[in-house]
Each structure stands twice: as structure tokens, then as C-alpha cells.
């Protein structure tokens, strides 16, 4: 449940509350539900307080997408940077799973972009960037960089699907299966020439 913004909170707190409300709306009802009036109402913030921040109808939606993507990417990159090279893919997967486990709402942002050209473009861009990062983690293979990036895209699609299965109460996929199979998928696919 969102905390209503109280008098005395500064604009940054209100902005964070509105973005968080947007994430909740997205998780509950899809990206089309993420509107400035709806998010402001959920956060207890007046729309007029946010009109300078969000001037276009999709600005809030794109901000929610960007923050969610940045949070996951930061966690994964930090974990990979701290790990020995041979453990980077696995530690990156561990950080990804921990991020989704802490806040499952991020899964909606990860997968849902159909019907919104701005989101589709952002999602494709973020997947291309992440595929390039994952491909750069692989050393000692004869595979060309382009093939590694294609393999990483394949893995990202699989990771997305097992994440959705994990969050679906009707499947028996749990956190540990996502971690194990996600890491193994990247390790095998990314290291096979």
C-alpha cells in the first residue's frame, strides 16, 4: 500500500510516490492504467504538483519503465562487476532474481509493452543493451560478438518466460528454479560456439 504524501514532504518524495503508484497501477491493471491523474490519486498527490515533471501523456509511463529497468540493470551490473569472471553470469542472475523477489511488480514492466510504441521501443533498446552486456561477459569462445548477442536475446526471452511462470501461482516454478535454470541457460547458450 502506498503512503500518502504528507504536508512537508518535498517534491522529490512526491515524485517518487507518484512513480511508485504508477508501477503499482501497471502491475495491477497494465500499462494503459498508468495515467498521471490515477497515479497522483493513488499517491495522494495533487496532479498540479506533477505537471512540470510530466508534461506529456506518456511521460509518467516512460519514467516508471526507465526506473524499473535501471533498478534491475544496476543490481545485475553491480553483482557481475563484483564477481570473479567465471561467476559473473550466475551472480548477475542471482541479483536479477533478488530484484524481482523484492518487488514482483517489476515483472510487469519487464514484459508488457505490446500496444505502446514508446514502451516497445524502450524495451527493445534495453534488451539490446543488456544482450550486449551479457555477451561481453563471455570470454574464451570462438563465437563472434553478433552471435553472442543473438544468443543473449534468446536467453532473455527464456528468462522472461520463467520469471512469469515463477510469479504465476498456478505453476510450480519457484525462485530457486528461476535462479538455477536462468543461470544455466545463460552459461550454456552463451558459451556454446
Q: What is the pLDDT of residues 6-42, one digit of tens each?
A: 444 456 799 999 999 999 999 999 999 999 999 999 9
Could you tell me the fold of the domain covering 68-191? Tetracycline Repressor; domain 2 (1.10.357)
Check whether domain 1-57 has CATH 1.10.10, yes or no: yes
Task: Report whether 96 contacts 72 (CB < 8 A).
Answer: yes
125-183 residue pLDDT tens: 999 998 988 888 877 676 787 888 899 999 999 999 999 999 999 999 999 999 999 99
Task: Report whether 3 contacts 89 (CB < 8 A).
Answer: no
Listed in sequence order, the DSSP H helices in 83-174 are 88-102, 106-111, 117-136, 145-167
Start-end ranges of CATH 1.10.357 in the chain? 68-191
pTM: 0.86
Task: Report whether 153 contacts 127 (CB < 8 A).
Answer: yes
CA distance 141 to 89: 15
Amino acid at each position: 500500500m502506498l503512503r500518502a504524501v504528507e504536508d512537508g514532504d518535498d517534491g522529490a518524495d512526491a515524485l517518487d510516490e507518484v512513480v511508485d503508484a504508477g508501477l503499482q497501477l501497471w502491475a495491477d491493471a497494465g500499462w494503459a492504467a498508468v495515467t498521471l491523474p490515477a497515479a497522483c490519486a493513488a499517491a495522494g498527490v495533487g496532479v498540479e504538483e506533477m505537471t512540470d515533471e510530466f508534461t506529456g501523456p506518456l511521460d509518467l509511463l516512460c519514467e516508471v519503465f526507465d526506473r524499473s529497468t535501471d533498478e534491475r540493470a544496476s543490481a545485475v551490473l553491480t553483482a557481475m562487476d563484483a564477481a570473479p569472471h567465471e561467476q559473473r553470469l550466475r551472480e548477475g542472475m542471482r541479483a536479477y532474481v533478488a530484484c524481482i523477489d523484492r518487488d514482483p511488480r517489476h515483472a510487469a514492466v519487464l514484459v508488457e509493452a505490446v500496444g505502446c510504441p514508446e514502451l516497445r521501443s524502450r524495451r527493445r533498446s534495453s534488451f539490446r543493451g543488456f544482450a550486449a552486456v551479457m555477451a561481453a561477459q563471455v570470454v574464451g569462445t570462438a563465437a563472434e560478438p553478433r552471435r553472442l548477442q543473438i544468443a543473449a536475446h534468446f536467453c532473455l526471452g527464456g528468462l522472461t518466460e520463467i520469471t512469469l511462470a515463477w510469479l504465476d501461482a498456478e505453476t510450480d516454478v519457484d525462485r530457486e528454479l528461476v535462479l538455477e535454470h536462468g543461470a544455466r541457460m545463460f552459461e550454456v547458450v552463451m558459451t556454446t560456439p
